[in-house]
Amino acid sequence: MLSYRHAFHAGNFADVLKHLIQVDILSYLQQKDKPFVYIDTHSGAGLYSFNSEEAEKNAEYETGITRLKARPVAGCEDYLQVVAQVKPEYDRSSISPDSLYPGSPRIAQIMLREQDRAQLFELHPQDHQRLDELMRRDRRITVSKSDGFKGLVAALPPKERRGLVLIDPPYEVKSDYDTVVSTLEKAHRRFATGIYALWYPVVDRARIEQMVQGLKKTGIPRIQLFELGLSADTEGRGMTSSGMIVINPPWTLKNKMDELLPQLAERLGGEQGVWKSEELAGE
C-alpha cells in the first residue's frame, strides 16, 4: 500500500491538470482578505527533481510540464508562474530550478499568505521525511504522518470556514475508490462551504463511472468534473487520462476549463489528446 511514489510521475500531464486547477482555486480564495486553510490528504514529498532516477525512468514530464513550457497555452500563466518560483532546497546552487517540479503542498506553500495555513498528511516514511524537512521552517504549515482520509475528517470543520481540500490518493488499493466517496460525504457534512478537489486516474473507466455515480448519490450539490488525456480509453494497462472532480468550484472555473482543456489536449496529446468537462450536480 505504501509503494506508490509520485517521484516517478512528477510533472506529467496529470500533474498539469491537477495543479492548474489547484492554482486557480487558491487564486480564487486569495481574492478575499479572510484567511483560508489548505488541506492535502496525500501530500507526497513536496518537491521533485527531473534528474532523479525515479523521474528519468519514464520521463513522464516530457509530455507534461516540459511540453507546456515549450509552447504555453494562454490561460496557464498563473500556474506556470508558480512552477517557475520553485527553488532548490537549502539553496543548493548546483541544482537547476528548471529541473525541479513542485508537488501540491509546495504549490500551496508558495501561494499561502501570512494569515493562511496548511495541514498536510503523508504516510510513506521517506516521502514524509522529505516533506517534513521541506516544510518544518514554515510556521503556517503542519505535517502529519498519518492516514489522510481519517485525518481530513478529524480536522473539520476548520476555524477559518474557508479553504481547499485536495484529495489525491494513489488508488493502489481498490477500496480507495469507495473510500474517497465516503470520506467526501463525511467531510462535506462537517465543512459544507469548503472547496474539495478530488484527483483520479483513468485506468479502468468502469471503476471511475462507479465512483462518479457514488458521488451523485450522496446528494452533495455543485459538483464539476474535468478530464485531460493523451489518448482515448483502452483495454490495456496504464493511465490514458486523469481527472479532477471539484465540489463547490469557483464560479469561473468551468468556463475557464472549457476553453483551456481542448487546447491542452492538443498541446500535450496531439491528435490523440482527449478532454472532458461536465456538470455532475447543480445547486
Residue 1 inside a domain? The answer is no
β-sheet bridge partners, residue 148:
none
Asked whether residue 233 is domain-assigned, the answer is yes
Cell 517557475, residue located: 84
90 pLDDT exceeds 60? no
Please state the residue numbers annotated as binding site. Answer: 19, 42, 104, 122, 147-148, 168
Residue 55 domain-assigned? yes
The confidence score (pLDDT) of residue 88 equals 59
Range(s) of the domain holding residue 206: 6-281
Residue 156 has pLDDT above 80, yes or no: yes
pLDDT above 60 (res 1): no
Residue that is written with C-alpha cell 534528474 in the block: 51
β-bridge partners, 49: 100
Mean pLDDT of 98-115: 94
The CATH number for 14's domain is: 3.40.50.150
233 is known as an active-site residue: no
> Percentage helix, strand, coil, to 5, in the chain?
45, 20, 35
Short-list 186, 209, 211, CA closest to 196: 186
pLDDT (tens digit, 9 = 90+) per residue, 157-186? 999 999 999 999 989 888 999 999 999 999
pLDDT of residue 86: 84
Q: Model-level pTM?
A: 0.94
What nine digits make up the cell of 4? 506508490
Task: Give the pLDDT band of residue 111 (cuts 50, 70, 90).
Answer: very high
Q: Known binding site for S-adenosyl-L-methionine: residues?
A: 19, 42, 104, 122, 147-148, 168
- Segment holding 242, helix H or strand E: strand 241-247
Q: Indicate whether 254 belongs to any domain.
A: yes
Q: Which of 24, 116, 168, 176 is the catalytic position?
A: 168
Q: Which pLDDT score, from 0 to 100, does residue 94 have?
A: 52
pLDDT at 168: 94
Interatomic CA distance for residues 134 and 90, integer angstroms? 9
- Domain membership of residue 213 (yes or no) is yes
On the question of pLDDT at 117 being above 80, the answer is yes
What is the C-alpha to C-alpha distance for residues 146 and 121, in angstroms, rounded to an integer? 6
In a domain, 48, yes or no: yes
The tally of domains found in the chain comes to 1
Report the mean per-residue pLDDT for the chain: 92
Tell whether omega for the bond before 221 is within 30 degrees of 0, i.e. cis.
no
Looking at the chain, the whole-number percentage of residues with pLDDT higher than 70 is 94
Helices 77-84 and 104-111: crossing angle, nearest 10°? 100
Band of the pLDDT at 2, cuts 50, 70, 90?
Answer: very low
C-alpha cell at 142: 503542519
The span from the CA of 273 to the CA of 226, in Å, is 14
User: Is 70 exceeded by the pLDDT of residue 34?
Assistant: yes
Angstrom CA distances, 43 to 11, 37, 204, 265, stand at: 15, 15, 24, 26
- Give the angle 242-63-7 at the CA atoms, nearest 5°: 70
